[in-house]
Chain A
Amino acid sequence: MVKVYIPRETTADSLGAELLVKAIATEAKYRKLDIEIVRNGSRGACWLEPLVEVETDKGRVGYGPVTLDDVPDLFDADFLNDIQSGGKHAKFLGDVDKLPWFANQERLTFARCGIIEATSVAAYASLGGFVGLKNAMATTPDGIIEEMKASGLRGRGGAAFPTAIKWRTVADCKADQKYIVCNADEGDSGTFSDRMIMEGDPLSLVEGMTIAGLAVGADKGYIYLRSEYPLTQKILNEAIANAEAAGYLGENIQGSGKNFTLEVFMGAGAYICGEETSLLESLEGKRGQIRFKPPLPAIEGLHGKPTVVNNVISLASVPVILEKGGKHYAGYGQGRSLGTMPFQLGGNIKNGGLVEKGFGLTLRQLIEDFGAGTATGKPVRAIQVGGPLGAYFPASLLDTPLDYEEFAKAGGMLGHGGVVVFDDTVNMAKQARFSMEFCAVESCGKCTPCRIGSVRGMEVIDRIVGAKNAEERNAEHIVLKDLCETMESASLCAMGGLTPVPVMSAVKHFVSDFEKEFQDR
């Protein structure tokens, strides 16, 4: 019986993986070959998906990207058995781990992702899974939080707030009920790391949330998942059921006397529900409007109870921290940006996907060394980092290190680690206008600078590009600047508060684009 790995994962699926599974199974049956198709997640090299891997006596070897047309050829090349002959197939990649794309990564959080059968408890445990939980059970809540503190982990959802401090606050609250809420709304354009880990190694999130529960004294968790991820929902629910069946969730977990239950809750297509207070409103079954802070969710969160709200990647990084120690995790990265970050390389990029690496590599290394430049082969002109509220950088800033502080110094933010590349056909006035439009569409409507300001912003940008002369244009630029300052200072949350960032960065670095009417350059 030969094991063949074919991802059950959105990217691979979007490129026909499900059809491939059927085709390979049918062809194997027809040729009377005994195979077992294992459904892993993606290893993160989206440019190689669908990536098909075969377990041979000489190790696991990959073929990709595989299309339906390749299937008979692959069998003709004896890809199931012989690396010698199968290796001659045009899609042969050899040992996938040895491709520079993977060899140059530092995978901690994503160490298992794409390697194991995604929802299998046994596969998970065979590669270090649940060791962190066992260690957490062997120590005290304080011991867990100390380990988290030593790791230096800062929230990966965008705000980069130290996770240990948040947990400490919730742990110190006295309450009859506390909650762990996982923010899986992943609304930022250009990001998909949450999805990939939930599809490829969902049990790491389950384990991370359970450990968080032990640390703060919470026995109930929710995963607030965006509705654009229906396959993720299925996989998560399967993983949760498997964990329950194996005694890793539910009552008296592994005989410890501790309980933790987990539920997946679906959002309904509102970007603002990624903001934690809006998310909690939504989870309570209300309109997803921002709450005034204070009180912090850590003190009065879900149903008014102390609540940890953490991003998927923050929580999925907890098991490896408890398994290998906070110090080990903090051994990656630099300065105050410790550990690793799963960067997501998308947009106009040749070799796009997920690159987990310690903080500190430069944008250029990410885009040129990993990404191999643009998909169109044209020069990189602009890069948006950190989602729709992140700054646009010109190519002259490519040597900026990916590190929270370094990025802030350059006028940007890392956010959730999304990196979107544009080639030289981009019109940056159009991009700036889109930022305003997005804010107008997704504003929760609670405050005027955001709700109305964003609509005014589109109008002003239209007037700038339509201006008859420089004088008129300059006057409108001043209006735009004033408007952005108002939005920045008077908005209740970062939706209105940060929308000016991409807008003003476009003006700052690409002002010439504002001097002509919208049209393709």
Chain B
Amino acid sequence: MQQLAGPLTYQDWDLDKAREAVLEYAGRTGGVMIALHRIQEIFGYIDDSAMPMLGKVFNLSRAEVHGIASFYHDFKREKPGRYTVKVCQAEACQAMGSEKLTEEIKAFLGADFHETSADGNFTLEPVYCLGNCACSPNIMIDTQTYGRVSIDGFKSLASTLAKAVNEQEAK
């Protein structure tokens, strides 16, 4: 259970870089959505200062951009931890004990939903179905789904991933 190689590396916020990255989506169907995804992919979140910039690029008011970014659960407005852990809260996972698992993960990380563990490694989020409902309970770390997760499995995974952070930072 350790398919992830290590943390995604997010760059520090840089408005010019963000603008440059999204210019090509102007005029595309749903371009602003693509842009929000892209910015989050690079920086891990969407800084407030991106709102007027996106407004200009996509011909929207700043309030409209804000409205879009805040409507969708995915878009983060603050820098997350090194890994984002999503724990499935939907019915099939409930049937396999996700409620208990969630409580145990929260206790282990010392973080509630939408919070980050004190070491800055794990941001915890709820998710409603990962489409792996025959192998519940499920979690997703960054882009990797893990099935039939137990708290012990989670703890060993978390320690492996934390180690990968240390190794990366030692370099």
Measuring CB to CB, which residues of chain A are less than 8 angstroms from any residue of chain B?
10-11, 13-16, 18-19, 46-47, 49, 186-192, 194-195, 222, 226-231, 263, 265-271, 282-289, 302-303, 344-349, 352-353, 375, 384, 388, 418, 420-423, 426, 431, 434, 438, 441-442
Kindly state the separation between the CA atoms of A189 and B67 in the bound complex, as whole angstroms.
27
Distance of A268 Cα from B145 Cα, bound (Å): 17
Interface string of B45-88 (1 = CB under 8 A from A): 00000000000001000000001100111110000000000000
Of chain A, the residue at the smallest CB distance from B143 is A230
Total A-B pairs, Cβ < 8 A: 161
27 A-B pairs whose Cβ atoms sit less than 8 Å apart in the complex: A10-B130, A10-B132, A10-B145, A11-B135, A13-B145, A186-B131, A188-B129, A190-B129, A191-B131, A192-B133, A228-B129, A228-B131, A229-B131, A265-B29, A266-B33, A266-B34, A266-B37, A267-B72, A269-B73, A284-B30, A285-B30, A285-B31, A288-B72, A289-B71, A346-B92, A346-B133, A348-B96
Q: Name which residue of chain B comes closest to A196, CB basis.
A: B131
Q: How many residues of B contact A (CB 8 A)?
A: 44
Contact of B95 among A288, A302, A426 (CB under 8 A): A426
Docked-complex contact B134 and A344, CB < 8 angstroms: yes
The distance in angstroms between the C-alpha atoms of A344 and B146, with both chains bound, is 19
B75 contacts which chain A residues (CB < 8 A)?
268
Q: State the CA gap A15–B34 with chains docked (Å).
A: 30
Interface residues of B (CB under 8 A from A): 1-3, 29-34, 36-37, 58, 67-68, 71-75, 90-96, 127-136, 138, 140, 143-148
Q: Please indicate the chain B residues that have their CB under 8 angstroms from the CB of A187 in the complex.
A: 128-129
Asked if B3 and A285 make an inter-chain contact with CB atoms under 8 angstroms apart, the answer reads no
Task: Tell me if A228 and B29 are in contact (CB < 8 A).
Answer: no
| A46–B45 alpha-carbon span in the complex (Å) | 34
Contact in complex: B147, A282 (CB < 8 Å): no
Known: A13-B145, A14-B138, A192-B133. A288 touches B71 (CB 8 A): yes
The answer to whether A438 and B131 have CB atoms under 8 Å apart is no
Q: A189-B90, A268-B33, A348-B96 are known contacts; what are 10 more A-B pairs with Cβ within 8 Å?
A: A189-B128, A191-B131, A229-B131, A270-B71, A283-B33, A348-B95, A352-B134, A352-B135, A422-B95, A442-B128
Shortest CB distance B53–A (Å): 15
A303 vs B33: C-alpha distance when bound (angstroms)? 15
The answer to whether B148 touches A15, judged by C-beta atoms less than 8 angstroms apart, is: yes
